[in-house]
Amino acid sequence: MSAPMPQDIPQKSIIARRLMLGLPLLGLGLAGGGFALMLRQMRNGRFDPHALPSQLIGRAVPDFTLPGLAGGPMTGNQLQHPAGPMLVNFFASWCVPCLEEASTMAALAKTGLPIWGIAYKDNPADTRRFLAQNGNPYARIALDQPGRVAIDWGLYGVPETYLIDAQGIVRWRYAGPLTSAVVAGELQPLLAKAGA
């Protein structure tokens, strides 16, 4: 390869310019290395971009105080010392999947499992209309209008459901609408264990 060597560029500045124009190559190397690492970890299952892990599993519910839709405030302390296994469900009147899981929630409530609801970024009038239209499976309902508590919980979106065992430890988290299949396949075995 014989590149034409321009006379008016000093050798030193060519090296400097080469180093500068080599920066995109460096960027590519870093990105490529990162991707290669991701692919390797994907193969042995350590890296899954599609999983939605929850930091709360195996821990107590974080501290919070939220105004209730009716009655007194809901606090983290109450959930850290529950009467028995229970569910906490984040929902909103503006979310379509929340409508879809309403029948599953109603069926779960009938079994006697206490479900506490937290309305996420929703105004109270809309929440009331939503519950009047679709039935109210919740034993208690709190309002998280600014959505700050949801951040502490690591909420991915609504609806999202957490199982808290009798000791107040979060055992399970499900992002998305609960279906009877999920209840039978994932929730019931855990409930049986938590109850035992």
Partner 1 sequence: MIPELGHYALALGCVVAAAQGLLSLWGAQRGDARLIGAAPALALSQALAVTLSFLALVWCGVVSDFSVMNVAEYSSATTPLLYRITGTWGNHEGSILLWCLILSLCGGVVAGFGERLPSSFRARVLGVLGLVSSGFLLFTLTLSDPFQRIWPPPMDGQGVNPLLQDPGLAFHPPILYCGYVGFSVAFAFAVASLLEGTVDAAWGRWVRPWTLAAWCFLTAGIALGSWWSYYVLGWGGYWFWDPVENASLLPWLTGTALLHSAIVVEKREALKIWSLLLAIMTFSLSLCGTFMVRSGLLNSVHAFANDPARGVFILALLGLVIGASLLLFAVRAPLLQPAGLFAPLSREGGLVLNNILLCSIMAVVLVGTMYPPFVQLIFGQQISVGPPFFESTAIPLAAPLIAAMGLGPALSWKRAALGPALLRLWWAAVAALVLVALIFPSHGLRAALGLGGAVWLLLAAAADIGNRAGWRPGRLLHLPRAAYGAALGHAGLGVTIAGIAGMTLALHSISLVQPGQTIRLGGFDWTLDGLQDQPGPDYAARVATLTVRDAGNGALVATLHPARRSFPLQQQTTTEVAIRTNGLRDLYVAMGDERDGGVVLRIHVNPLAPWIWFGALIMAAGGALSLSDRRWRVGAPQRLRQKGRARPAAVPAE
The answer to whether the CB of 105 falls within 8 A of the CB of 137 is yes
Angle at 83 between CA 79 and CA 89, to 5 degrees: 45
And the tokens for 22? 């080599």
**Per-residue binder mask for partner 1 (CB under 8 A), 59-88, x = binder:** ------------------------------
58 near partner 1, judged by CB under 8 A: no
Note whether 179 binds partner 1 by CB under 8 A: no
Q: Which of 78, 103, 136, 145: binder of partner 1 (CB under 8 A)?
A: 103
Handedness of CA 178, 184, 187, 188 (dihedral sign): positive
Using CB under 8 A as the binding rule, whether residue 10 contacts partner 1 is answered as no
Closer Cβ to partner 1, 23 or 83, answer by number? 23
| 166 makes contact with partner 1 (CB under 8 A) | no
- How many angstroms separate the CA atoms of 92 and 120, rounded? 5
- Using the rule CB under 8 A, is 17 a contact of partner 1? yes
Alpha-carbon distance of 159 to 170, in angstroms, equals 17
> Taking CB under 8 A as the rule, which mask of x and - marks residues 122-141 in contact with partner 1?
-----------xx-------
What is the smallest separation between the CB atom of 61 and partner 1, expressed in angstroms? 20
CB of 62: closest distance to partner 1 in angstroms?
A: 17
Show the binding pattern over residues 142-161: x = contacts partner 1 (CB under 8 A), - = does not: --------------x-----
Binding-site residue total for partner 1 (CB under 8 A)? 44
| Binding flag, residue 9, partner 1 (CB under 8 A) | yes
Binding footprint of partner 1 on the chain (CB under 8 A)? 1, 3-6, 8-9, 13-14, 17-18, 21-22, 24-25, 28-29, 31-32, 34-39, 41-43, 47, 49-53, 94-96, 99-100, 102-103, 133-134, 156
